[in-house]
Structure 1
Amino acid sequence: MEDFAGHDRPTRPSGAGQPRDYREFWPLYVGQHAAPLTRLLHMAGTILGVAALLAALAIGSWWFVLAAPVVSYGLAWSAHFFVERNRPATFAHPLWSLRADFEMCARMLSGRMHREVARVRSAGPPR
């Protein structure tokens, strides 16, 4: 059973360096999103952000374009600061983080994300 607050998540050892590619980034991302509530807030933010962009196209209002990142990042970052108590991966790797957000959402919608968190946890901290 996962810790709802995600306090038993893998962390990157100090001095381990930065990931060199997305394959190395993904386990770090999963570790920073160990709590189910964090993942749920990220998925809600991602879906609402995409919906705001689609609404901007459909309605032609730029306000929705401005609202998209505010809603999306607002939900995601609140999860990092108040649930995980860590720093969002967006700061260091914005494009990989965006890709990982969509991958995480896809895995959540298909029911595979819990298994991925367990796999990353069992592999231990990244080297």
Structure 2
Amino acid sequence: MTPKEFTSFASFYPYYLGEHQNSTCRRLHFVGSAGVLSLLCFALITAQWHWLYGLPLLGYGFAWLGHFVFEKNKPATFRYPLYSLMGDWVMFKDMLVGKVKF
């Protein structure tokens, strides 16, 4: 598949959602994002900054597990790193408010 060129996040986000059709994949993204927020809060509250090294492993670990095992596709992070990161957090918010099915 030829990579698409996106000129805005608004044009990218529908593509991003299309890459997350599997509910288990979406749930793993949600767990990873919630874990990132929890670990970040823990590190800030305790001033134990070494925990910050775990943020990428926690966030991407759950997301990539979802893609490779359940969605059976490559994460958008590999082609669109910034838009993909933004998409993770927008989808997390959309799942919290019920706009995207959990």
1:27 shift after superposition: 1.2
CA 1:44–1:15 in structure 2 vs 1: closer, same or farther (change >3 Å)? closer
CA 1:15–1:92 in structure 2 vs 1: closer, same or farther (change >3 Å)? closer
Contact 2:3/2:79, CA 8 A, preserved across alignment: no
- Alignment partner of 1:21 is 2:8: yes
Q: How many residues align?
A: 101
Report percent identity of matched pairs: 35
- Alignment partner of 1:73 is 2:60: yes
Aligned-partner SS, 1:68: helix
Partner amino acid for 1:98? L
* Cα distance in 1 between the residues matched to 2:11 and 2:38: 30
Q: Any gaps of 5 or more consecutive residues in structure 2?
A: none
Aligned-partner SS, 2:21: coil
Q: Residue in 2 aligned with 1:48? A: 35
Instruction: Name the one with the larger helix percent.
Output: 2
* Cα distance in 1 between the residues matched to 2:75 and 2:40: 22
Q: Residue in 1 aligned with 2:19? A: 32
Q: Under a length normalisation based on structure 2, what TM-score does the superposition of the two structures give?
A: 0.90
| Greater radius of gyration (CA) | 1
1:109 shift after superposition: 1.1
Partner amino acid for 2:66? A
Partner amino acid for 1:45? G
Contact 2:43/2:51, CA 8 A, preserved across alignment: yes
Q: Under a length normalisation based on structure 1, what TM-score does the superposition of the two structures give?
A: 0.73
